Amino acid sequence: MPSPKQSAIPRIDVERHRRALLEAAADELARNPDSSMAEVAQAAKLTRATLYRHFSNRQSLLTAIQAEALSRASETLRACRLDEGSALEVLKRVVGSLGKQGMRFRIILMRAPDHNARFLTQRDQVLAPLVGVVMRGQAEGDIRADLSPEWIVTALASLLISAVRAAPLAQHSEAEVADLIFRTLVGGIATDGTARTSKN
Tell me, yes or no, whether 22 and 72 share the same domain: no
Tell me the CATH number at 115.
Answer: 1.10.357.10
* pLDDT tens column, 105-141: 878 777 665 667 888 888 899 999 999 999 999 999 9
**Do 84 and 172 share a domain, yes or no?**
yes
**Into how many domains does the chain fold?**
2
d(CA 180, CA 163): 9
Question: What is the domain range of residue 171?
Answer: 63-200
Looking at the predicted structure, is the pLDDT value of residue 181 above 90? no
List beta partners, residue 143. 190
CB 165 within 8 A of CB 120: no
Q: Let me know whether 34 and 102 are in one domain.
A: no
- Percent of residues in the chain assigned helix, strand, coil, to nearest 5: 75, 0, 25
Instruction: Report residue 88 CA to chain centroid gap.
Output: 20
- What was the pLDDT predicted at 32? 87
Q: Are residues 46 and 29 both part of a single domain?
A: yes
Q: What is the pLDDT of residue 117?
A: 80
pLDDT digits (tens, 9 = 90+) for 132-178: 999 999 999 999 999 999 999 999 998 888 888 776 655 667 777 78
Q: What angle do CA 144, 145, 146 make, to 5 degrees?
A: 95
Average pLDDT, the chain: 83
Are residues 79 and 175 located together in one domain of the fold? yes
